[in-house]
Structure 1
Amino acid sequence: MPSYVITGTSRGLGLGFVKALSLEPDNTVFALARNVVDATQLSDFVKQHVHKNIHIIEADNTHQKSMQNAADEVSKHTGGKLDMLINNAALIHHERDHLTLDSYPNPELLEQDLNIFLRTNVLGTIHTINAFLPLLLAGSMKKCIILASPLGTIKMTLATNFAGATGYGISKAAMSLATAKYAARFRNEGLAFLLVNPGFVKTMPGPKDEVEKLYDFQTANARKKFPDFEGAITVEDSVRDQLVLFDRVTIANTGDFLNRDGTDGDSRL
């Protein structure tokens, strides 16, 4: 029975992975959420799901002990093994996303914001991976997925001339190098690490009409520089494509940054 751990499952892509993977009754899915009480979309889905193959575990990746407790709980169910870890949890949006590194009102606020993103998106992901490493090494698939973003690459930052979303971009860049370090460390043990760009996915909260207008605006802006930009896609489409990719990759791909269709992650937005 293949086993999967997914972080950040209260909504969006994380919840999408839970829904898709739990359709196969032989799969065992562990859905990690920072606050289970608030994860109503997740809990409602699990309650009505025909296959009783989903385990909800409360875990906060900014606390190492919390992630270790989650790994211990998973281990009890799987006999100390895990086939795939999908690192989806991340801080994406912030009230000061529009600020550039030089436009903060004071250096203390800049440092505060960068630390928040680095703690969640880098240290939090590292804590998660470290907690589940023994289980992954004992598993059959031996795959660790980290959701990445073109906003965290030098090439795309310069190509788009986008200087905002500094905390998110810098943290994603740092996690990309951390992933390469893991890939170098565990290549000979057959554990593959993969960075994946899920695409421009419709996960933004808010009133539907307002959100759709924002997606249209951002798509139009992106197409000025990248005419072939596909625009916003559904969670279901992104998850479907990613799962096909996850199944296809091998240890030969460890450390790669790929789009959800398997192309080079630096090749487009």
Structure 2
Amino acid sequence: MTTVLITGANRGIGLELVKEFLNEAGTTVIATCRNVSTKSELDTIAEKIDTKQVQLHIVPLDVSSDQSVADLATRLKDQTIDVLVNNAGVYLDKGKGLLDADFSKWVETFDINSVSPFRVIKELYPNLDKSENAKILTISSQMGAMSRPSSGSYAYCASKAAVNRAMIGLALDLKPRNIAVAVAHPGWVQTDMGGAQAEITPTQSVKGLYQVIKDLNMDNTGSFFKWNGEIHNW
């Protein structure tokens, strides 16, 4: 049985990842969301799955809260986690520039996009270490790539650049424990964050991300992937 934990799993890319992993027999998916009152689509999925083939557990998690993440770790004590997908994120300064920057939003953006993946990994490290072939994928963005000049949305771009750099170091540190770490640009996706004018659907993005996760190993740990499996320039 493979156990997958996905943060921000009640909508968008996270929700599609839940669906994709549940297509694989022998998989347990732990789907987390900040507000359990908004998990209605997850409830619908849970009602329809064949529980003899797969399992779905819906649990509350506020990735920005030390206590909430610690509570999750307590709840999952002794549970092996084979795949962790850090999907939860925010885009609070979309379209903002220098003169209308809101620095309280900078702090919130960095906490959720840059710090929280580490907050979750730190608490769930014992669970990941139990796996023979653990994998961690953090959903990032090409907007955090230093090779891709862009303007505006400074907080979002900087938060993604920060988590990219941090995950490089984490990949090196966890390599001796046989835990593979990578980040991925999911594409410009038609979600609440990406907007209706975006280039690809959540299903298209997740089909690619799923394969990225399946192909992640100790040979390509520390990589920055595009949703289609290609390597993204840092």
Give the structure-1-normalised TM-score. Answer: 0.81
1:234 correspondence with 2:201: yes
Structure 2 residue aligned with 1:225:
none
Q: Which runs of 5+ in 2 are unaligned?
A: none
- Report the Cα offset of residue 10 of structure 1: 1.0
1:120 aligns with 2:124: no
Q: CA deviation at 1:192?
A: 0.9
Deviation, 1:204, is: 2.3
5+ residue gaps, structure 1, are 216-231
Aligned 8 A contact 1:30 1:74 in 2: no
Give 1:17 shift.
0.8
- Counting matched residue pairs gives 232
SS in 2 for 1:204: coil
Q: State how far apart, in whole Å, the 1-side matches of 2:88 and 2:142 are.
A: 17
Distance in 2 between the 1:187 and 1:110 partners? 38
Equivalent residue in structure 2 for 1:261, among 224, 228, 232 = 228
Tell me the CA shift for residue 205 of structure 1: 7.0
Give the aligned partner of residue 99 of structure 2.
103
1:179 aligned counterpart, secondary structure: helix
Shift of 1:237: 1.6
On the 8 A contact 1:15/1:42 being kept in 2, the answer is yes
Matched residue type, 1:119 = D
Larger Rg: 1
Indicate which of 184, 193, 206 corresponds to 2:181: 193
Q: CA deviation at 1:38?
A: 1.6
The verdict on how the C-alpha distance between 1:258 and 1:205 changes in structure 2, with shifts beyond 3 A counting, is closer
Report the aligned-residue RMSD. Answer: 1.9
What is the rounded CA distance, in whole Å, between the counterparts of 2:140 and 2:112 in structure 1?
14
Mapped pair 1:59 → 2:61: yes
Query: After alignment, is 131-140 or 44-53 more displaced?
Result: 44-53
Please list the CA deviations of residues 234-265 of structure 1 after superposition, one character each: whole Å capped at 9, or x if unmatched.
21121111111211121121111011222221
CA apart distance, 1:141: 2.2
2:147 and 2:94 map into 1 onto residues whose CA distance is 20
Q: Which runs of 4+ in 1 moved over 4 A?
A: none
Q: Is the 8 A contact 2:208 2:229 kept in 1?
A: no
Q: Which moved more, 1:64-73 or 1:133-142?
A: 64-73
Q: Does 1:152 align with 2:144?
A: yes
16 and 145 in structure 1: CA distance in 2 versus 1, 3 angstrom threshold: same
TM-score, normalisation: structure 2: 0.92
Q: Determine the structure 1 residue equivalent to 2:30.
A: 30
Question: 1 or 2, which has the higher helix percentage?
Answer: 1
2:132–2:178 contact (8 Å) kept in structure 1: no
Aligned 8 A contact 1:28 1:53 in 2 = yes
In 2, the alpha carbon distance for the partners of 1:47 and 1:146 equals: 28
1:30-68 deviation line (CA, Å, top 9, x unaligned): 001001112222222222323361000101001112112
